[in-house]
Amino acid sequence: MSRQPESSAEVCIIGTGPAGALVGDQLVRAGYSVVFLEAGPRFDTEDRVEQMESALQAGDSKTIWEMGGPRDAYESVGSQYYPLNSARVKGVGGSSLHWQGMVMRLHEQDFRLQSSVGMGRDWPLSYTDLQPYYAAAERELGVAGADDNPFAPPRSEPFPMTAFPPSQSDSIFAPACAEVGITTHSVPNARNSESTDEAGACVGYGTCAPVCPSGAKYDSTRQLAHAESQGARIIDRAPVKRLIHDDSGSNITAAEYSTPEGKRYHQEAKEFVVAAGGIETPRLLLASATETHPDGLANESGAVGRFFSEHLFAGMGGTINKQTRQKHIGFHTTESHQFYDRPDDSRTAIKLEFLNNAGPSPAAMAIEATEFGDELLNSIQQAYGSHIAMGALVEQLPDRENRITLSAETTDPGGMPIPVIDWDIDTRTKKTVQRANEIQRTVLETLDVDIEWTVGPDSTGPAYHHMCTTRMGTDPTESVVNPQLRCHELSNLSLVGSSVFVTGGAMNPTLSIAALALWASEHIAARLGEEDIEIDIF
C-alpha cells in the first residue's frame, strides 16, 4: 500500500484503538476527511483461529501480536518493575485486539474524590456530564449487561444486549457470598450475548485474552471498517516520531511519521488527535520538544508523563470438591462493587471479581500432553474442573513521582527515544490490596476451598491500565488538556484515552475511554465548523 500522506485530510488521528477509532468514525459521520496513522500492522481476522491455537500452546502467547524487540523497547527503572509489552498491541485495532472486554462505568464518587473524602483530585467533569456519552459508548461497543448492580451509578437507558448468565463457578460463590453478607451482580461485557450485524453471539472459545476467534468480543476494527467504508484512510506501520508546530508554537501543522522503507513523511491536517495510550501519548509529546516548547509539547505545567497510575491485582484461589468448569468461558460474569466507594481516606477502591479462569484449561492440557486416547482423557478429567478463584482490581491514586520519561541513551530503530517507566506502589494501595485479600479469604474459607495461592501486597502486579499521564483540568499550570480534551497550549491538538483521566478508580477503563472519545468528538467537530453538532449524531 501507499504510505504517502493524505492530501485532503482535515483530521489526523494517531492511534487506532477504541479512542482513536471512535473519534475518527464520528468525525467521518459528520462529514470530515480523516486519516489514521498507526504504528503497527494490519492483522488479518482470518488468522485468529491460528492465533488462538498458538496462544494455547506452551510459551509466550503475547508473540501472536508481534510485540517485542527493538521497535517496542522500553526501560523500567522504578522500584516496581513494569512489564509493558505484556500490556499492549501495536496494530490496527490497538490493545482492543487482546483485551478481556469488561466495561463498567466509573462511579459518581470517582469524579469528586477530593471533595467527598479528601483524596486525589476532582475531575473537571461530573458523572452527569458523561452519562449520555456512557450510554452512547455502550451502544458503540455493543455491551451486554443487566441493571442489577445496586452500587452502580444511575442509568438513563437499558443495556444494548442482555447480560450473560452466571457461570458454573459463580453459582458456587453465590450462596457463600450471601452467607457472609456480600452482594453480587452481573458484569457488563463488550461481547455479543446475541447475534448482531457486526458478529454472532459468543460461542465460548475461552481465549478472550489474548484473542477472540469468533469476533463476538468488541474490538475497534468495527468502527475503523465503517470509517474506511465512508472514505477514511488508515496508514499502517507508520509510527509518528514527532508533532510539528507553526512559528507561533500554538498550532500543530503536521505529524512526522516513518515507513518500513525508511522514508519520512509529514501528514498535514486542520485538527490532530493523539490516541496512542497512556505511555505512547506522553512519549510523543515529550519527543516533540522544540525551542518554543523545550520541555515537550503541551507541557508548561510539567504534568506530561507525570501521575502515571495503574490498577493493582489482588487474588486468591485453590481447589474445591465441586465441579467448577474453569476456563469454560474466558471472561467474568459476576462481580461485587460493594467495597468500591471509599468511606474515608483510609483506603482506595476495590472491585471484587469472581474468576472463571482458575486452573488449567482442557484445551491447553490436550495440546501440551504427551499421552493420547483414554490416558489423555483420564488425565484431563483428574486435573480439570476443581479449581476456583477470586480476583480484585485495586485503585492506585496518581502520584507525581510515578512517571513516563524519555531515555537519554536508547532510541528505537526510527531514532525516537524509548519510554522510561518509573513506577512505585504506595503504602495505602498495598493496604487496600491486603483488604481485598481478607475479603477473598472470608469467601473461600466459607466454601472450604483448599487455598493454594495468593497474590497480595508483596506480589501484586498491574492490570495494564495506563492512566493519568496527560490529565485534564481547568488550570493550565496543573494539567495538560482542558475539559474538552484539547491541549491548553495548542489550539488544534486533542488527546483521547485513559491518559487524560484525573483519577482511575478501580473500574476497567475502556468504557470511560470510549465515552470521553465521543465527548471529544463533539468538541472537535464544533471547532471544525459544525457549531450545532449534538450527541444524536452518535
Catalytic amino acids? 465
The letter for the amino acid at 65 is W
Q: What is the helix (H) or strand (E) element at residue 510, kind and residue range?
A: helix 510-528
Instruction: Give, in order, the Cα–Cα distances in Å from 321 to each of 53, 169, 443.
Output: 30, 12, 15
**In angstroms, rounded to a whole number, what is the distance separating the alpha carbons of residues 537 and 228?**
18
3-state secondary structure of 70: helix
Q: What angle do CA 146, 147, 149 make, to 5 degrees?
A: 105
Neighbouring C-alpha atoms within 13 Å toward the C-beta of 99: 25
Axis crossing angle, helix 127-141 with helix 510-528, rounded to the nearest 10:
100
246-250-252-258 Cα dihedral, nearest 10 degrees: 80
The letter for the amino acid at 509 is P
Task: Name 258's bridge partners.
Answer: 264
**What is the DSSP secondary structure assignment for residue 536, as one 8-state letter?**
G
**What is the DSSP secondary structure assignment for residue 82, as one 8-state letter?**
-
**In angstroms, rounded to a whole number, what is the distance separating the alpha carbons of residues 272 and 429?**
36
Q: Given the C-alpha cell 480534551, which residue does it identify?
A: 485
**In angstroms, rounded to a whole number, what is the distance separating the alpha carbons of residues 163 and 172?**
19
Strands of 159-232, DSSP E? 161-162, 185-186
**In angstroms, rounded to a whole number, what is the distance separating the alpha carbons of residues 330 and 214?**
13
3-state secondary structure of 179: helix
**In angstroms, rounded to a whole number, what is the distance separating the alpha carbons of residues 95 and 89?**
5
3-state secondary structure of 48: helix
**In angstroms, rounded to a whole number, what is the distance separating the alpha carbons of residues 94 and 110?**
26
**In angstroms, rounded to a whole number, what is the distance separating the alpha carbons of residues 501 and 307?**
10
Contacts of 409 (CB under 8 A, 6+ apart): none
Sign of CA dihedral 54, 59, 60, 63: negative
Widest pairwise Cα distance in the chain: 75
